[in-house]
Amino acid sequence: MGQAVSGARLRERRRLAAYVACCTAAALTLCLAAVHGLSSAEIRGLGPAFWLITALVLLGELRPVVASGAYDPEGVTLSAGFLFAVMFLWGLWPTVLVQLLAMALGESLRRKPAWKVVFNSSQHVLSLSVAWAVARLLGLDGSPSHPLVMSASDLSVMVLAWTCYFFANLAFVAVALSIRNGTTFWQELIDDIGYYAVTTFPVLVLSPVVVVVAMTVWQLIPLLLLPLFLVYKTASISRDKEYAALHDGLTGLANRKLLTETTDDALVEAAQAGRPIAFCLLDLDSFKEINDTLGHQTGDRLLEIVGTRLANSVRPGDVVARLGGDEFAVLLTSVSDVADTMDAANRLRAVIAEPFHLDGMLLQVDTSVGVSLFPEHGDAVPQLLRLADVAMYQAKREHTGVELYNPARDVHTLDRLGLLGELRRAIDQGELEMHYQPKVSLPGREVVGVEALVRWRHPERGLLFPDEFLDLAEQSGLMRPFTQEVLAQSLSRAAQWWHQGTPLQVSVNVNIRDLTDVGFVEGIRDLLAAHRLPASALQLEITERLLMADPGRMSQALEALGRLGVDLSLDDFGTGYSSLVHLKRLPVSEIKVDRSFVNRMTRDADDAAIVRSIVELGQAFGLRVVAEGVEDEATWQALDELGCDLVQGWLVSRALDGDDLLPWLLRFSSLLEPPPFDAEEQVAGAGSR
């Protein structure tokens, strides 16, 4: 396949080279014919008017008018109007020589490849020759010895000559582009014909004015510099307005409009090439605090530096934009897969994480990045932007830094929005139910407590597990009534057990919104009193990541719970990089080793070392250590040898309905074999609630 593509490109290059050679040969022949028999008398016959106009030709070629940097970055040269004046007044050979000089000088200064300089010069010679032939055929035949004396009837011939030049120019270029791009001649000829018509003919209209001035009062030719200056000034103002409309005023980066236009084009190219592109949305995590503390001037300077860093860290073809405030977007046009995209997103985040030196201070700024992919997540700019925004807020909420869009966690999809409305009903109508997974002590194989795991008995979808609805509660205003329902059911069931002579401690998972709720601790106090339970009947599990989200606020809430006498457990330990100082200061009595380490500890030496270290750390701090996800005897034995305190997992039991737990306890005398595989329960694992 690669050899076939290389062979096709080689054939295209050979065809293009042959075409350029033919145009060059034809132009060279015309030049030789034009200057054949040229005498010194004719050269001397060219008066000061010719040299003044030649100077304007060179100026027009060297200083193109760029009115639209986005559409035509090279701009439009004004030399054509003066060249036609030379041709109408003095014939072909002066025109050809002036054109070759101006083109060679202008193209070379723009550092174009040699073959492009040769081709552009040649096709202009050929196009001018076509116009000259038409004008001469219709009686417009000036020469150095007999310059044209223009009359009103000559205007129609001039218009026809301009038109022939315009289409000849387009045709010569269209042939070259069709060979290089593998398109048809007509596609290239029609493409942008309107733009070049409105930029070329107004320049050519200048030629009759130059002819009249040159043949009457040639000393007035320098006055043409004034309208030329006004043209350049107008173009400059237009270009500045266009730039301001497409770029951010503070950072100079692309704004939302330019990003949208660029992404639209990139999506078309990516669809044709069958390759992905990625969209990254970045938001500075602590920018408001910096702005409020250090002032807007420092905040603006920080944004400028962030923009510069991002622009300098992307690859050619990528686009960096500022969407407003402290929000930036990066279009990645050359990613190969998800892994490559996430690597690029993490590099962008790392670039911003480097310290900033501002006003004599050293600032550290964290960033949350959301990523969406074309075509996996969407095929339109607004959709990709929205999905990247969803992922970015997920990264900000969970303090993960970078997140790829996950439809299952998007509360705003139609299906999820419908489920959200049903979740409100489920809380009100008692469709939530609690299942309980036993926690067993390793030394005595005694059931000392249970973890409460929430399920939703959906009337149509059946039993739903937390990963299908918990995000909905967390991202909406349902977290408070949701947690109240979970606590109420769990403590109600615990009260039944305690009053029947089975004092099991029930563990309930809570999140950051629960702990920062003003009435949370008081509500727990009321529930315990209502069910006549001691505080030791309840244990609250918090994740290590939640603890690190805001240690100050979390410590206040946890200390209040500690004073109440509620036991606290640190869940998923080993995955959140919590500080030992926080672990020492907070009233935590238990840490739970994350199941990802426990599951692999008998097969992976690194995971075994991590589990051993956590167990030893817990013992050093006087904390109970619970291992989650114990599913085989080998893991049980390894944990027993390490001195782990408690285990829970499928080897002991799956999560049980509240009515089934006491009968199971009566049958429990020694460690049971794992129950038959249940796909529905396996998906749940030990879900977050």
Q: Which residues are within 8 A (CB) of 428 and not within 5 positions of it... i.e. 6 or more apart?
A: none
Q: DSSP assignment, residue 379?
A: S
pLDDT at position 412: 58
Does residue 402 share a domain with residue 262? yes
Which two structure tokens, joined as six digits, stand for 676? 């038959």
> Does residue 183 share a domain with residue 289?
no
With H, G, I as helix, E, B as strand and everything else as coil, classify residue 468: helix
Structure confidence at residue 675 (pLDDT) = 41
Once rounded to an integer, what is the mean pLDDT over residues 311-329? 90
261 and 236 assigned to the same domain: no
What is the domain count for the chain? 3
The fraction of the chain above a pLDDT of 90, given in percent, is: 21
pLDDT reading at 414 higher than 60: no
Nearest of 542, 632, 626, 616 to residue 586 by alpha carbon: 542
Mark whether 195 and 273 lie in a shared domain: no
Residue where a domain terminates, one of 352, 374, 409? 409
Tell me the per-residue pLDDT of 574-588, one tens digit each, with 9 for 90 and over: 665 455 656 666 778
pLDDT confidence of residue 544: 63
- Mean pLDDT computed over 69-98: 75
Residue 679 falls inside a structural domain: no
What's the pLDDT at 578? 52
Find the range with the poorest average confidence among 19-33, 596-610, 618-632, 657-671: 657-671
168-172, 219-223, 229-233, 654-658, range with the lowest pLDDT: 229-233
* CA-wise closest residue to 122 among 232, 670, 130: 130
Residue range 352-379: mean pLDDT, rounded: 86
For residues 318 and 674, the model is more confident at 318
* 232 lies in the same domain as 124: yes
CA distance 121 to 127: 10
| pLDDT recorded at residue 451 | 95
How far apart CA 242 and CA 68 sit, in angstroms, is 7
Between CA 424 and CA 418 the distance in angstroms is 10
Last residue of a domain, one of 192, 214, 246: 246
- Residue 646, pLDDT score: 94
Pairing status of strand 356-358 against strand 361-363: antiparallel
Say yes or no to pLDDT of 464 above 70. yes
> How confident is the model at residue 490, as a pLDDT?
94
Read off the tokens for 681: 């329960």
List all residues 6 or more positions away from 513 whose beta carbon is below 8 Å from its beta carbon: 474, 479, 480
Q: Give me the mean pLDDT over the 459-479 stretch.
A: 80
The answer on 156 and 15 residing in a single domain is: yes
Q: CA-CA distances (angstroms) from residue 141 to 125, 148, 203? A: 18, 7, 22
Predicted confidence (pLDDT) per residue in 221-279, tens digit: 788 777 777 666 766 676 677 778 888 889 999 998 889 888 888 888 888 888 899 99
* Statement: residue 469 has pLDDT above 90: no
Degrees (nearest 5) of the Cα angle 369, 371, 375? 170
User: What is the pLDDT confidence band of residue 546, given thresholds at 50, 70 and 90?
Assistant: low
Domain that holds residue 400: 256-409
- CATH for 271: 3.30.70.270
Q: What is the CATH number of the domain that holds 127?
A: 1.10.1760.20
pLDDT for residue 455: 93
Question: What confidence score (pLDDT) does residue 8 get?
Answer: 61
pLDDT of the residue at 687: 41
Q: Does residue 440 sit in the same domain as residue 546?
A: yes
Does the pLDDT of residue 668 top 60, yes or no?
yes
**384 and 484 in a common domain:** no
Same domain, 88 and 116: yes
Strands 432-441 and 277-284: unpaired
Q: Do 654 and 565 reside in the same domain of the chain?
A: yes
Is 571 strand, coil or helix?
strand
**Tokens 């402290």, located at residue:** 326
Q: For residue 355, give every residue at least 6 positions away whose Cβ sits within 8 Å of its Cβ, in sequence order, or none.
A: 362, 363, 364
Last residue of a domain, one of 246, 280, 312: 246
Strand order in the sheet with 367-374: 319-324, 327-332, 277-284, 367-374, 402-404
Q: Tell me which H or E stretch contains 434.
A: strand 432-441
pLDDT band at 680 (very low <50, low <70, confident <90, very high): very low
**What mean pLDDT, rounded, does the chain reach?**
82
CB count in 10 Å sphere of residue 423: 24
Q: Are residues 16 and 152 in the same domain?
A: yes
